[in-house]
Amino acid sequence: MDIIQLRYFLKTAETMNYTKAAEALFTSRQALRHTLDTLEKELGQDLFETDHNRLSLTEYGEYLALACTGAVKAFDALEADVSRFFGQQTPLRFAWSVSLSPYALPELDRIVLQDFSAKFPHITLESLPCPADKVIDLLESGEADCGCVLQMPTARPGFTATVLRTSPVTIDSGKGSPYYGCPEITLADLPGIPLIGMGELDRIARPLWEDCRRLGLTLNYRSVPNTIDALYLMRHGEVSGLNTLSPTPAPNTAPGAPTGRIPTILRGYTWELVLLCAQASPNYYAAQLLASHIANHYRTLFDGSRAASRKQEPSL
């Protein structure tokens, strides 16, 4: 059973006429019948039956039509994507959250994106740095093929997700906060804390947002556009940060990365640094190449940093 046989079968099942199906497939009626006969012999069952010159599907034909329609459509899409990639320059739009640079994704433009362009010169890469919410908007609207965002684990139908790393959700509080130095708090404690974060809760922190709605909790929360603004507000003690960084600094971060913080863990919630690829994008497979390239780079970086940290730990 091969893709040509299945295409011939589906077109015949659609038209219920050998002549019309052959014309639509740009083949002869004889070649069509031979292909269908070969398929029926291979499967050991008749797929069509004729009653008073009217063609209809047998029970086996109806089953095969349901079973193979999705596979044939997927193969046709794959064939079109491959033909387009091999035949012309492929544009690829990559959106990423500016809140991730430089600490969570150090040197993204210089190391990862330039290296990718050098390795895959056939792919024209357009980098789209923007706020976290905008990354999601661009992906959902089809204006970006691939995106990187830090979010709480969220099911996004129509996207494949490659998780680079996970970390607990933490609250960064100034010394004036009642929770300063507290190792752990729960969701019920949050309404008493003025909070900021780099994205709307229903977009980047959906599990927390849904739990708040379910429990009737109203948070004093606002979104800020970037890391610099967030650090400024937290440094001046005005707010606490719904932190989008790991409890320990990201490995190999740029000089000046925040160190020595004692964040408060929000029990029961995690962040995931994730690459999202839109399955409906005509450049989906090129986006998967980019996602794999980024994942290989940062997983090696993060794993190497963790191993180095363990070696430096004093033995007991």
CA distance 139 to 93: 10
CA distance 246 to 280: 32
Average pLDDT, the chain: 83
Question: pLDDT (tens digit, 9 = 90+) per residue, 21-61?
Answer: 999 999 899 999 999 999 999 999 999 998 888 899 999 99
pLDDT (mean) for 219-228: 83
Taking each helix axis as running N to C, give the angle between helix 59-87 and helix 284-312, from 0 to 180 degrees, rounded to the nearest 10. Answer: 80
What is the residue whose two structure tokens read 């995931």?
A: 272
Question: pLDDT (tens digit, 9 = 90+) per residue, 279-315?
Answer: 988 888 899 999 999 998 887 776 655 444 444 433 3
What is the residue whose two structure tokens read 């940060």?
A: 241
> Nearest 10 degrees: CA dihedral of 255, 258, 261, 264?
-140
Domains parsed from the chain with CATH numbers: 3-87 (1.10.10.10), 90-310 (3.40.190.290)
What is the residue whose two structure tokens read 């790991």?
A: 246
How many CB atoms within 10 Å of residue 44?
Answer: 7
**pLDDT-derived band at 152, boundaries 50, 70, 90:** very high
Which pLDDT score is estimated for 261? 53
Residue by residue, what is the 3-state secondary structure of 254-269? Answer: CCCCCCCCCCEEEEEE
End-to-end CA distance of the chain: 64
CA distance 195 to 208: 13
Q: What angle do CA 235, 236, 237 make, to 5 degrees?
A: 90
Strand-pairing partners, residue 147, are: 95, 276
Which pLDDT score is estimated for 303? 67
The answer to pTM > 0.85 is: no
Which tokens is 66 given?
A: 């349901």
Which pLDDT score is estimated for 304? 53
For residues 264 and 168, the answer to whether their CB atoms sit within 8 Å is no
Q: What residues contact residue 100 under an 8 Å CB cut-off, 6+ apart?
A: 108, 148, 149, 150, 244, 273
Question: pLDDT (tens digit, 9 = 90+) per residue, 237-262?
Answer: 678 888 655 544 444 444 334 444 56
Which tokens is 53 given?
A: 């010159």
Residue 124, classed as helix, strand or coil, is: strand
CA distance 88 to 81: 11
